[in-house]
Amino acid sequence: MMIEVIQPGLFTSLQDLGRFGYRHLGVPVSGAMDLDAAQHANHILGNDPTCAVLEITLQGPTLKFLIDTKITLTGAHLSPEVNQQPVEMYQPVEIYKDDELTFGKRISGVRSYLAVTGGFKTDMIFNSKSFYKGITSQEKLVEGDILELASTSGKKAAELQVEPPAYNTHELYVTPGPEFELLHPQQKEKLLSEKWTLGMNSRMAYQIEELMPNRLPSILSSAVLPGTIQLTPSGKMILLMRDCQTMGGYPRILQLTEKSINLLAQKMRFEEVSFRLIH
């Protein structure tokens, strides 16, 4: 009941719904960057929602299946093929022993999710299977890894029609952060009226290329969450993501909604976004 990693792709990791209840120990939440896509993958196969999935970033792996099973792929469309034949996204796909799954050209999104019937069998650490450097033995797949499956049987694949989401919208919905009211009215107007260019990014955070004028005082290190938007003394905005730290000393000016975190996880560097405030 195994899958062999022939080549690992750019950054492929096992992720589930996240690691909760340990933030007081400095342990990040982690979990799938796009939780909607990850949960859809498990739901389509009839898996338990807590089953781990493979999160595949931009350049997919080559995987050889050593057993018969079923898979589904959601999230980013990275041109998946089984034995060089295209496979549909958001559909159960029959897999047979010695089949090879590969990926090609990126069509949309950034992160794709692969679920297998019954889920993956791996160590549960702090109530989660999510990879995170320093907590789990590895942070991403490497060539030659063998992935064990928890079971080859599961519930009947769900009969549902899931429309692949559109990742082309630029609006990110936000609520006011704890330090939002410290911003000058002109800063607020600029923040919420302009488009902003995404810069360097990772599972920990996205940066904004443009600077936001900042005269806010420093704050004592305070709690931050995935989706917290911080403003640094230099005027750089940092959008925290699933692997973010638990405490931070920069003003927390906005907080992304859960759906906007999922959307942001599917955006490339140099794409533009705007912030739409909700209360």
| 212-225: pLDDT as tens digits | 988 888 888 899 99
Kindly indicate the confidence band of residue 195, based on its pLDDT and cuts at 50, 70 and 90.
very high
50: helix, coil or strand? coil
| CA–CA–CA angle 28, 130, 199 (5° rounding) | 60
Task: Please give the pLDDT value at position 184.
Answer: 93
Average pLDDT over residues 19-34: 94
Kindly indicate the confidence band of residue 99, based on its pLDDT and cuts at 50, 70 and 90.
very high
Task: Please give the pLDDT value at position 279.
Answer: 79
Cα–Cα distance between 273 and 264 in angstroms, integer? 9
Record the tokens describing residue 270, joined without a space: 């140099």
Domains, the chain, ordered by start: 2-149 (no CATH), 171-277 (2.40.100.10)
Cα–Cα distance between 261 and 33 in angstroms, integer? 7
Average pLDDT over residues 127-147: 95
Return the percentage of the chain with pLDDT > 70, whole number: 95
Say if residues 47 and 117 touch (Cβ distance below 8 Å).
yes
- Eight-class DSSP state of 128: B
Task: Please give the pLDDT value at position 118.
Answer: 93
Cα–Cα distance between 248 and 2 in angstroms, integer? 41
Alpha-carbon torsion, ordered 120, 124, 125, 129, to 10 deg: 20
Write down the pTM of the prediction: 0.94
Task: Please give the pLDDT value at position 166.
Answer: 80
What is the arrangement of strands in the sheet containing 108-116, beginning at the earlier edge strand? Answer: 11-15, 53-57, 108-116, 69-77, 93-95
Task: Please give the pLDDT value at position 41.
Answer: 97
Q: How many residues does the chain have?
A: 279
The lowest-confidence range among 94-98, 138-142, 167-171 is 167-171
Cα–Cα distance between 113 and 49 in angstroms, integer? 13
pLDDT at 88 over 70: yes
Non-local (6+) Cβ contacts of 63 within 8 A are 3, 4, 5, 6, 100, 101, 147
Record the tokens describing residue 11, joined without a space: 């950054």
Task: Please give the pLDDT value at position 154.
Answer: 53
| Residue 228 CB neighbour total at 10 angstroms | 24
For residue 32, CA distances in Å to 2, 39, 66, 160 come to 22, 9, 25, 22
Say if residues 205 and 239 touch (Cβ distance below 8 Å).
yes
